[in-house]
Amino acid sequence: MGLHQVLGISVAAGACTALGAIMLFIKRYWDNSSLAVFLGLASGVMAAVVLFDMLPSALVFGGWFKAVVGVLLGLLILAICDRQLFDRSAARNSLAALGYMIMLGIAMHDLPEGMAIALGGEMKDRTGMVIALGIGIHNVPEGMAIAAPLLMAGVKQLRILGQILLVGLITPLGTVIGLLAVTFLPRLLPLLLGLSSGIMIYLVLFQLWPQARAKGRRSRWWGFWLGMIIILAATYI
């Protein structure tokens, strides 16, 4: 996949955060069942990418030890981000402060997600695209999560949208960093693939899936299996 293509899909994935805010502006209420399917779909796509692409590719490169270390590092990085940012945001009373803390936490997540797109693109064009798809789907409810408290705090929609668009640029920034790492540090590719896998595993296990469960215990499974089937079909067809 060429540089322009990788950056293009990364920008599109980042822009989905703003799409989530726009959807909330248009329709402020989304039923729990629809959100559960949506979050389940993102979970299925990302889980399948890790299981059928990222980790097997790391093993093919002969770096199983580096891959395992990378997975653990990815899990640790996201756990620290959650503990330091999201837990603190829950203790804030101001709706505006809550919205901006969520925005900061999501921006911290978007950087390694952009790296994952770059690493996927280095393996196969399709892998980079499906990672971007999973991240893009995942970014839509994140945009809603940022916008909701800011709207309730009285922040103007145009200002919210501008700030969320800036957050969306963090994803392509991560992609640039990932491309530079692959170019200048190729021996670290198994480690980086493991890192990206760990990041996505954490997002699925500790964010997407629990949120989907809270919205709809049964309907989330429809989205999850749909996401898995999409990636399996893309892998073997």
Domain boundaries along the sequence of the chain: 3-26+46-236
27: left (phi over 0), alpha (psi -120 to 50) or beta: beta
Q: 101-153, pLDDT tens digit by residue?
A: 667 767 766 777 788 788 777 666 677 787 888 788 878 877 887 887 788 77
Residue 55's pLDDT is what?
Answer: 80
Q: Give all strands (DSSP E) within 31-88, no chain letters.
A: none
Residue 28's pLDDT is what?
Answer: 66
> Does residue 148 or residue 178 have the better pLDDT?
178
- Burial of 175: CB neighbours in 10 Å, binned 0-12, 13-18, 19+: buried
Highest mean pLDDT among 24-28, 154-158, 163-167, 223-227: 163-167
Is 24 in contact with 155 (CB distance < 8 Å)? Answer: no
Backbone angles phi, psi at 63, to 5 degrees: -120, 55
Q: 5-20, pLDDT tens digit by residue?
A: 888 889 999 999 999 8
Instruction: Give the HSE-up count for residue 215: Cα atoms under 13 Å, Cβ half-sphere.
Output: 23
% of the chain with per-residue pLDDT over 90: 11
> Does residue 153 or residue 213 have the better pLDDT?
213
Residue 162's pLDDT is what?
Answer: 94
Does the pLDDT of residue 165 top 90, yes or no?
yes
Is 61 in contact with 193 (CB distance < 8 Å)? Answer: yes
Residue of 82, 122, 129 whose CA lies nearest to 105? 82
Residue 100's pLDDT is what?
Answer: 77
Residue 91's pLDDT is what?
Answer: 47
Q: Looking at the chain, how many residues does it have?
A: 237
Does the pLDDT of residue 49 top 80, yes or no?
no
Q: At what angle do helices 3-26 and 157-168 cross, to 10 degrees?
A: 160
* Cα–Cα dist 61/38, whole Å: 34
* Cα–Cα dist 79/187, whole Å: 26
Q: What's the whole-number average pLDDT of the chain?
A: 79
* pLDDT-based confidence at residue 182 (cuts at 50, 70, 90): confident
Q: 56-69, pLDDT tens digit by residue?
A: 777 776 668 888 89
Least confident of 86-90, 132-136, 181-185: 86-90
Q: At what angle do helices 157-168 and 170-184 cross, to 10 degrees?
A: 10
* pLDDT-based confidence at residue 181 (cuts at 50, 70, 90): confident
* Cα–Cα dist 177/125, whole Å: 18
- Burial of 205: CB neighbours in 10 Å, binned 0-12, 13-18, 19+: middle
* pLDDT-based confidence at residue 222 (cuts at 50, 70, 90): very high
- Burial of 63: CB neighbours in 10 Å, binned 0-12, 13-18, 19+: buried
